[in-house]
Structure 1
Amino acid sequence: MYILYTGGYWLDVVTVKHSYISFTLKSTFLSLYSLMHLHFMINSPQLILNTILYTILYLMKMLKMRWLRVLTSNGITTY
């Protein structure tokens, strides 16, 4: 199930059965995002703020996914 996160930062596949694959994809995307904007960060405070916000949203989503994995019985989590 494809879900567009409300922050607009990524499209991802979120299912209980494939939560580890989803985690890997999001971790990879986070790394690429950071590397891609690293050389702009010194001169661009906005990108620093965006990266901090992205990291906070990412961590919040992962914690929420962990809880939903326990609470959801139909196999598909929706945010």
Structure 2
Amino acid sequence: MTIKVKVGEAKTHLSDLLTKVEAGEEIVISRGSQPVARMVKFDDRRLRMEAIRSLRAEREARAGATAAEIQEWRREGQR
């Protein structure tokens, strides 16, 4: 469910609004009748999944690496 509030109300009741956002509500903040911001619960799972996908793609790209290449990478890291 989306809750709509004006800027002044958002400033006055920020803590209460954050509690509602943490519970899964979405808050739309308006200046007059024009929406200017949306508050939603931060979902860091999406960021973690992007990082995992990136690592898997990198691992897959290097799957055909030769032993000599791996040794060179190790030496490169020690310089």
Fold match by TM threshold 0.5: no
Bigger Cα Rg: 2
Q: TM-score, normalised by structure 2?
A: 0.35
Structure richer in helix, relative to its length = 1
Structure richer in strand, relative to its length = 2
